[in-house]
């Protein structure tokens, strides 16, 4: 695989698949620019070499063609401030503006194409759509790890139209950090799995049972495990049809010598609301009209001790409904303990999605070893699946 460091972009127009799928508020202002910042090194290297950049990305999930709220035009001012170069915008990713602006693009300039997903052909992996996108550049750079698990036109299919295919810094760092955790972890190795559904995490949990020393389970999926052990969960989120699956996980962990940890207390609420009435109960003893929304103080103490004694930490998924400040204590406490362990020499990989948001919102992004930009892509890579966006760079 050719990497950015091993390629001279002088005089080249680089077609770069980036992941600019950033959150915007109602005024279309960027609320978290983590993904934009992540691409800075790749784009700067190309510009410094004397090349030009044609940036392509999706934003959000437009349903039927162009929608103003999903326009990448909202990103242009950020790019101008960040790079201090001429930034052009093509209002149709395969229209005349894209063709003309790419043809006249000069070294040191940036062209941003409009949202690729305004065309359904992008997600379908349409070969003709991919060929049009590929026609603008001389070299293909894939730096969008967050979409590498999708066989879309821009993330994988267009690679076949280029002789030169280059792995961007984000993609390279994501793969290197995932391999570090999977192939050569220092011990004890602790994985912290949160989120609402066992079904979303079952494959990664089973894979991790062959790797980790400790597996901490938090978030909404703890209530399915609680059901498996005969607990009362009130109206907490759960997957009753996955109870047998959770029993299998418990059995496999025991057989493989993995220590499995569940919260021994839970913060419950009488409705799904930040201002709901709340109380702390022993796990498995939630009254009928109540639901669990966070791990309790005893669980926080127990989990922090395990994390702070670890040498390798993988964290994917929050401990509760961290979007509600009153139920964010568990997630924030885990973030604190991951940072503390890292400061004492542990290696910590934060697995994208909500965990990355929690770490970044707490201002800890630079106090852990690596924050992944790809939630689903990282999970699929760790599950052992082939990522189309990575395979396209290797062929």
**Enzyme catalytic residues:** 35, 197, 353, 376
- Quick check: bond before 195 cis, omega within 30? no
Q: What whole-number distance in Å separates Cα of residue 58 and Cα of residue 35? A: 12
Say if residues 4 and 44 touch (Cβ distance below 8 Å): no
User: What is residue 198's three-state secondary structure?
Assistant: helix
Measured over the CA atoms of residue 42, residue 46, residue 47 and residue 51, the dihedral's sign is negative
Q: Is 230 left (phi over 0), alpha (psi -120 to 50) or beta?
A: left
Q: What whole-number distance in Å separates Cα of residue 351 and Cα of residue 69? A: 27
Q: What whole-number distance in Å separates Cα of residue 166 and Cα of residue 143? A: 9
Phi, psi (deg, nearest 5) at residue 55: -95, 135
Neighbours of 274 (CB within 10 A): 14
Say if residues 83 and 66 touch (Cβ distance below 8 Å): no
Q: Counting Cβ atoms within 10 Å, is residue 180 exposed (0-12), middle (13-18) or buried (19+)?
A: middle
Q: What whole-number distance in Å separates Cα of residue 130 and Cα of residue 160? A: 9
């Amino acid at each position: 695989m050719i990497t950015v460091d091993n390629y001279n972009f002088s005089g080249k127009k680089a077609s770069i698949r980036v992941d600019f799928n950033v959150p915007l508020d109602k005024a279309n202002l960027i609320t978290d620019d983590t993904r934009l910042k992540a691409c800075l090194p790749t784009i700067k290297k190309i510009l410094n070499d004397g090349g030009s950049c044609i940036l392509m990305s999706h934003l959000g999930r437009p349903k039927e063609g162009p929608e103003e709220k999903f326009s990448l035009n909202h990103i242009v001012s950020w790019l101008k401030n960040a790079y201090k170069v001429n930034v052009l915008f093509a209002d149709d990713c395969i229209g005349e503006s894209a063709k003309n602006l790419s043809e006249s693009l000069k070294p040191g300039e940036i062209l941003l194409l409009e949202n690729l997903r305004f065309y359904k052909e992008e997600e379908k992996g349409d070969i003709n759509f991919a060929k049009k996108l590929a026609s603008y550049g001389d070299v293909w750079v894939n730096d969008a790890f967050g979409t590498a698990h999708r066989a879309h036109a821009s993330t994988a299919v267009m690679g076949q139209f280029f002789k030169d295919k280059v792995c961007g810094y984000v993609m390279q760092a994501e793969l290197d950090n995932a391999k570090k955790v999977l192939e050569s972890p220092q011990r004890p190795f602790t994985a912290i799995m949160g989120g609402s559904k066992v079904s979303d995490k079952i494959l990664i949990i089973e894979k991790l049972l062959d790797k980790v020393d400790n597996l901490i389970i938090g978030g909404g999926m703890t209530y399915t495990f609680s059901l498996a052990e005969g607990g009362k969960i009130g109206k907490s989120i759960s997957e009753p049809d996955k109870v047998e699956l959770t029993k299998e996980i418990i059995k496999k962990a025991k057989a493989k010598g993995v220590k499995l940890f569940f919260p021994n207390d839970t913060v419950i609420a009488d409705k799904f609301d930040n201002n709901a009435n709340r109380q702390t109960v022993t796990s498995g003893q939630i009254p009928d009209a109540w639901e669990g929304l966070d791990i309790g103080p005893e669980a926080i103490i127990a989990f922090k001790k395990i994390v702070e004694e670890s040498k390798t930490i993988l964290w994917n998924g929050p401990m509760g409904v961290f979007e509600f400040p009153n139920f964010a204590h568990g997630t924030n406490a885990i973030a604190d303990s991951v940072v503390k362990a890292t400061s004492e020499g542990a290696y910590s990989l934060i697995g994208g999605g909500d965990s990355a948001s929690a770490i970044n919102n707490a201002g800890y992004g630079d106090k852990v070893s690596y924050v992944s930009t790809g939630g689903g892509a990282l999970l699929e890579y760790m599950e052992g699946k082939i990522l189309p966006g990575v395979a396209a760079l290797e062929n």
